Amino acid sequence: MRTAPPPALGRVVVVGAGMVAHRLVAGLVERAPQDGWHVTVLGDEPWAPYDRVHLSELVTAGRTPDDLALDPTV
């Protein structure tokens, strides 16, 4: 099976889908929103990246997982 040729800026493979990966991908998209990087993120958690710094607040401050969600459009 053929795949499309890589875009002009090339390919990035990010291993791990945590906060830093999320910020990295957001930065790549901000700098080249169209025809930019072809990004593949390999994560080993069953949920989308979230704000792990505030994880304790699920218990201490009654926050919900949705409160910790990072921008899903990235």
Ligand X SMILES: Cc1cc2nc3c(=O)[nH]c(=O)nc-3n(C[C@H](O)[C@H](O)[C@H](O)COP(=O)(O)OP(=O)(O)OC[C@H]3O[C@@H](n4cnc5c(N)ncnc54)[C@H](O)[C@@H]3O)c2cc1C
- In order, the DSSP letters of 9-40 are T-EEEEE--SHHHHHHHHHHHHH--SS--EEE
Instruction: Report the nearest approach of ligand X to the CB of residue 35 (Å).
Output: 27
Give kind and range of the element (H or E) at residue 41: strand 38-42
Using CB under 6 A as the binding rule, whether residue 45 contacts ligand X is answered as yes
Using CB under 6 A as the binding rule, whether residue 15 contacts ligand X is answered as yes
Tokens (6 digits) for 9: 């800026």
Q: 48 to 67, contacts with ligand X by CB under 6 A?
A: 52-53, 55-56
Using CB under 6 A as the binding rule, whether residue 20 contacts ligand X is answered as yes
Contact set with ligand X (CB under 6 A): 15-21, 42-45, 52-53, 55-56
